[in-house]
Amino acid sequence: MRDIATHYKVTLDAVVYFMRKYKIVRRSLKEASSKSFARKKPSFTQNSVSNRTKELKAIGTALCWAEGYKSDKANNVDFANSDP
């Protein structure tokens, strides 16, 4: 709605009034957030992650060994620090 108001050089209230008058359905908050997120540039690149894969695996293994909860039934890792 803001883009429309800017394009036609009218107030945001005028756009809202027009949409209500002609019963034009507005996007839900979830849909608007999703569209906004899709337009944003990613904060990381695949190369930056893959270059550190070996290092990240080593860190994850050390954390699991030192603080991780392990069980034969578990299908995930849970970190819990029980040291006083």
Q: How many residues would you count in the chain?
A: 84
Helix, strand, coil fractions of the chain, as percent rounded to 5: 55, 5, 40
Name every residue whose Cβ is closer than 8 Å to that of residue 58 and which is 6 or more positions away in sequence: none
The owner of tokens 């060994």 is 65
Residue 12 in any domain: the answer is yes
- Tell me the whole-structure pTM to 2 decimals: 0.42
Number of domains in the chain: 1
Residue 8 in any domain: the answer is yes
- Give the pLDDT confidence score for residue 52 in this predicted structure: 73
Q: How confident is the model at residue 83 (pLDDT cuts 50, 70, 90)?
A: low
13-65: pLDDT as tens digits:
999 999 999 999 998 999 988 888 888 887 766 665 566 777 888 887 787 77
Domain that holds residue 7: 2-39
Gap between the Cα atoms of 16 and 20, Å rounded: 6
Give residue 15's identity as a one-letter amino acid code. Answer: V
Residue 74 in any domain: the answer is no
- Give the pLDDT confidence score for residue 48 in this predicted structure: 58
Residue 6 in any domain: the answer is yes
CB neighbourhood size of 14 (10 A): 14
CB neighbourhood size of 26 (10 A): 11
